[in-house]
Amino acid sequence: MCKADRGAKRKATYMQVGSAARRASGKMDETLLERLKGRVTLAGGGHDEIEVEAPFTGEILGSVPWGTADDVREAVRRARAAQRLWAQTSFEERARIFMRFHDLVLERQDEVLDTLQLESGKARGHAFEEVLDVAIVARYYARTAKGHLRPRRRQGAFPLLTSTREYHHPKGVAGFIVPWNYPLTLAVTDAIPALMAGNAAVVKPDAQTPFSALWAAAILEEAGLPRDLFGIVTGRGAELGAPLIETVDFLMFTGSTATGRTVAAQAAKRLIDYSMELGGKNAMLVLEDADLEKAAEGAVRACFSNVGQLCISIERLFVHDSLFDRFAERFAEKTRALRLGGTLDYSAQMGSLVSRKQLDTVERHVQDAVEKGAAVLTGGRPRPDLGPYFYEPTILTGTTAEMTLFAEETFGPVVSLQRFSSVDEAVEKANDSPYGLNFSVWTGDEARGKKLATRLEAGTVNVNEAYAAAWGSTDAPMGGFKDSGVGRRHGAHGIQKYTESQTVAVQRLLPAAPPPGMGAERYARIATAALKVLSRLPGLK
């Protein structure tokens, strides 16, 4: 929806929708809205407005400028100018800013929790996961960036004669195309390592959820980050994505696999590097020796966190025959007990889908499965009594390959429950997918779980946990196999990808070529003999 005469609906302001939040924190009002809108980078001139809907009510939350290609180019121009000075700052100075940001995020979390809930429809507990993630990532890279990027001595071509070092230089301006499902964490946690590496960042948040990213920008500036170093342009991805790719030096994209292919093709034309986290059809395996109660509880988190609108959530659940009936009963019981609601506190355990489009997808997938023979163990209905886009957490059995949701990502609170009789069968079923993002294994034998995990074709595998253990291990890489992505976030790779690696080699005493007066044939014989000797020396690579 864009600027227009929307009548009564337009009058449903952020202040009205957020009255409960103001009572809780005293901070969510129209003044804040205008301050956040002031963080949008604009090239000048008049702009239409994009209205942002509140999923809990379907009313208008507020609006942001409808950005243009000129706004993207202006944001990149400003970012590039700011980056030249930023690259000269020390790691210690950058770390101080991000540790201050860490503290501010935790201190002001009620403000952003309200914002996250109101614009995305998620339950407060799931919104808090974003706050937690942002703080953890800020702390991690503030403390490790210097070590990850320090100059390193590398083995030279000729022992003693060649001194070789590896350096990392910032790429310049990194662009970020951010989805709506985790609008705070995905707007800022990928940008933090880019900024700590000496780059600038330009972020294009999803038009459905721009305010969390704008809040992050305001807090970063308050923490001491130069204003133009973290630019934000609001608008439609179809209109702003191409101009962003055409002007930045690196691109980080999180979204669907189909869109990722388009983005990759555009980046390839400019020969700029990119990293992507894409779709998933994630699997959870419950082995015969798993703790039934813990596995059922873990399955609820795995399948229904953030209403299933989570790239690493579980949509395929495989349970051993010997445990299947008892597990299904307990899992369904726990699922039915989930409290749904749109309250701005921790009382609701599951919130709303983000939009009519997502609700339509979920309803279409479930209806198609039921029409083709699947049984609904629990759920399977929208809940308009709670809000326009609420849908019950749903467990299906008897799903088959001809059903749409069998292989296609639903991205909603729906899981198919299936049997297996052997571990080999479970592995084969889990790996039978073009996706490989995050899998989960439940077993009473930790060693067995770790061994099985290495057979699964997924970038992260959690043993006796749904997704948080691997995701929260920020020192380790996170990303997808197959059609689930390219590159990794977190760890050393999560910051080094934003740099250009440079090798500087100094040759001493003798040239890396035949010395003057030595013929090529004699040089070849001597070099061959030397290589044979070196191959037998311990410690040489």
CA distances for 315 relative to 348, 414, 531, angstroms: 22, 6, 54
Active-site hit among 53, 130, 311, 409? 311
Cα gap 389→329, rounded to integer Å: 27
Rg (alpha carbons) of the chain, rounded to whole number:
26
Q: Is 2 a catalytic residue?
A: no
Cα gap 350→379, rounded to integer Å: 13
Q: Which helix (H) or strand (E) holds 300?
A: helix 292-304
Cα gap 318→426, rounded to integer Å: 7
Cα gap 121→250, rounded to integer Å: 31
3-class DSSP string for 234-248: CCCHHHHHHHHHHHC
Contact between 278 and 380 (Cβ < 8 Å) = no
Q: What is the sign of the dihedral through the CA atoms of 296, 302, 305 and 309?
A: negative
Q: Is 311 a catalytic residue?
A: yes
Chain length of the chain: 541
For tokens 């029409």, the residue is: 371
Cα gap 202→414, rounded to integer Å: 34
Active-site hit among 51, 277, 392, 465? 277
Cβ-defined contacts of 470-476 (< 8 Å, 24+): 470/438, 471/133, 471/312, 471/438, 472/133, 472/136, 474/136, 474/137, 474/140, 475/140, 475/144
3-class DSSP string for 123-180: CHHHHHHHHHHHHHHHHHHHHHHHHHHCCEEECCCCCCCEEEEEEEEECCEEEEECCC
How far does CA 480 lie from the centroid of its chain?
11
**Which residues are known catalytic residues?**
277, 311
